Amino acid sequence: MAEFAAHLNQGTLNAQPTIFEIVAQESMASVLRPAVIYALKVLASSNPDRWGWIWRFGDELHLCLEYILQSHYLRNFEGSISEHFYGLKRVSRTPNNNADDKLSSLQRYLSLLMLVVLPYAKLKLDQLFERLREEYVTGSLSSHPARKRLYFLHLKRIFIYLYPFLHCAWESIFLCYYMLYIFRVSGVHSPLLHIVGISLQRFTQRDIVVHNLQRSLPTVPYRQTMVKQILAIPCSVTRLLSSLLANGLPIAVFSLKFIEWWYSSDNRSTVQSVMQLPVPSPPTQPKPAQHGAQLPPHPAQCPLCKRVRTNPTALSSSGYVFCYPCIHKYLNQHGCCPVTHLPSASKQLVRLYVDIVN
């Protein structure tokens, strides 16, 4: 809970978070999906026959995982994972029956809908738009002019035409809310939160004390019967998992953010300078043996027959180039390079196609 330390002395007077905290937590929330998808991709590529289906249903698996995590955080910390990491919580703007600002059950369900289902639906719409636009550009969208498909074809064209405008309007509304929030005109930074009557606040000192007290409570009270202790085991396991999630997930997300920064385009030049080794210098020319074949005066000549090479073939042990018949015969007889006398075999011959013209 070190992330709360910055707000310990601020009390409830400055409970409203700044736009920087809002943007930071939203940026962090967007990292989870690529991380899960990447992990699934690694698993699927390790054994495509067994785990290939995981990659195909990556978005749906991420949806299930995020539902479990976000519902856990909403239930225990009154906020999403990223909001909790930045010491923020969701409070109700409409007083409930207990005259406090805790979320009602309906607000908690709507929060879950906004955090999990809406991003999934938006992602699927984006993917559909990209697919249909590609089909439209390549002309394959109208390649099946059957009458029964004409209705869907019109729907697809309307969708391709309208979706960018709807997307623009959606983003513009969010931008307007950001501006209103920056200038303190509105206490809510998101239209969705506005609709369901929720705003974000920083954790207060009291929240942190209550949270720490809950964590320090013994999971199984003393002087209980064996049956009650056994029945309390699932509760203990849940609390242990909760603790692991609360402490381990922020560390994992921080690591992912660091990796994202490390491989980002802004940092690419630095990474390349560190990761890339210099190009090694070319190998030195092997020295001709004292009693070896003399090198011809012209580089196009064969060192063995002294004529212009036919079917030029390099010997990889030394790098010198000969006619293929000449060097093949020489290797079979002597088993070494004619020029350097380095031990060589016919399998080290490499045919060069420099004289082939298309």
| Residue numbers at the binding site for Zn ion (CB under 5 A) | 302, 304-305, 323, 326
Task: Identify whether the C-beta of residue 317 lies closer than 8 Å to the C-beta of residue 337.
Answer: yes
Alpha helices (H) along the chain: 19-46, 48-56, 58-77, 81-85, 105-112, 118-138, 147-182, 191-196, 205-216, 226-231, 233-262, 268-275, 324-334
Sequence-separated (6 or more) residues with CB below 8 Å from residue 142: 153
Nearer to Zn ion, 74 or 304 (CB): 304
Place of tokens 């809310």: 177
Q: Minimum Å distance from CB 270 to Zn ion?
A: 53
Query: 250 or 312, CB closer to Zn ion?
Result: 312
Would you say the C-alpha torsion 323, 296, 354, 287 has a positive or negative sign? Answer: positive
Shortest distance in whole angstroms from residue 308 CB to Zn ion: 9
Residue number with CB closer to Zn ion (242 or 301):
301
**Tokens matching residue 172:** 């513009």
Nearer to Zn ion, 141 or 305 (CB): 305
Residue with Cβ nearer Zn ion (323 or 331):
323
Nearer to Zn ion by C-beta: 115 or 339? Answer: 339
Least gap, CB of 332 to Zn ion (angstroms): 15
CB of 321 to Zn ion, least distance (A): 10
88/304 with CB nearer Zn ion: 304
Q: Which is nearer to Zn ion, 108 or 309 (CB)?
A: 309
- What minimum distance in Å lies between the beta carbon of 330 and Zn ion? 9
The answer to whether 236 touches 243, Cβ cutoff 8 Å, is: no
| Min separation Cβ 139 and Zn ion, Å | 57
Encode 124-146: b = buried (16+ Cβ within 10 Å), e = exposed: eeeeebeebbeeeeeeebeeeee
In the sheet that holds 349-351, the strands lie side by side as 321-323, 312-315, 349-351
CB nearer Zn ion, residue 198 or residue 326: 326
Cα-based torsion angle of the residue sequence 139, 142, 145, 150 in order, rounded to the nearest 10 degrees = -170
Tell me if 80 sits within 8 A of 26, measured CB to CB.
no
Closest distance to Zn ion from the beta carbon of 305 (Å): 3
Cα distances from 355 to residues 207, 306, 316, 325, in angstroms, run: 80, 18, 19, 16
Least distance to Zn ion, CB of residue 303, Å = 8
DSSP symbols for 40-95: HHHHHHH-HHHHHHHHHTHHHHHHHHHHHHHHHHHHHHSS-HHHHHTTEEEEESS-
State in angstroms the smallest separation of the CB of 300 from Zn ion: 11
The three-state secondary structure class of 265 is coil
Distance between terminal CA atoms of the chain?
70
